[in-house]
Amino acid sequence: MMSAFLTGFFLGLSLIVAIGAQNTFVFRQGIIGRHVFYVALFCAISDAVLICAGVVGISIFLNSYISQISNILFGLSALWLAGYGFIRLKTVFTSDTNFVIDSSKSKNLLPTLSIIAILTFANPHVYLDTVILIGSVSQQFIGESRIAFTLGASLSSFIFFFTLGYGARLLEPIMRHSYSWKILDSLIALIMFSIALKLAYAGNWI
């Protein structure tokens, strides 16, 4: 069970830490100190709901086919993760990623949550990563191990968003330097390659 939990945790963390509009917004709210708790909670719960929907949905709709297509499912998931890993590895050598923080006046809670809702649910990658990819990877686990995997993936979102929000002021000087992102991207690529190899082995691709 611990292996399943850690696989879910590191997979979820690897998929979510890539810089994007949602993470930048949470980071900004942390720096200006407005609605940090509610913004982080909204993002974390949204991820957890989508992850659970993916795990349960794929389990239900593909239940009778999992044993027949498991090798294909795990193989495609491994290729998907390896592709993510190569993208992150590419940024290590080609990108000078930096957070750009908008210092404009903060909005009230409801407008703030409406903005983060749009940034979260209008992004097609959130469905690909949580519902499809994490849901597919979860199928290598059975029973309590699948629950542990789901809890691990969901917990990674809570830890990430609350750390990003409340640690923003401490992280800002570090994350404004491109070398910090290069180190982070290297670690993400390593995790993704590791999980991809595990999936490829589970699907008898290697």
Q: For 122-180, how does the pLDDT look when each residue is reduced to its tens digit (9 = 90+)?
A: 777 788 788 888 888 888 888 899 999 999 999 999 999 999 999 988 877 776 777 77
Mean pLDDT to the nearest integer, 7-33: 82
In this prediction the pTM is 0.73
Please state the domain extents for the chain. Answer: 2-202
Name the pLDDT band for 69 (thresholds 50, 70, 90): low
Cβ–Cβ under 8 Å, residues 10 and 4: no
3-state secondary structure (DSSP) of residue 88? helix
Two structure tokens written together for 113: 């949550």
- Kindly tell me the burial class for residue 160, based on how many C-beta atoms sit within 10 Å of its own C-beta (0-12, 13-18, 19 or more): buried
pLDDT at 202: 72
Share of the chain above pLDDT 70, in %: 84
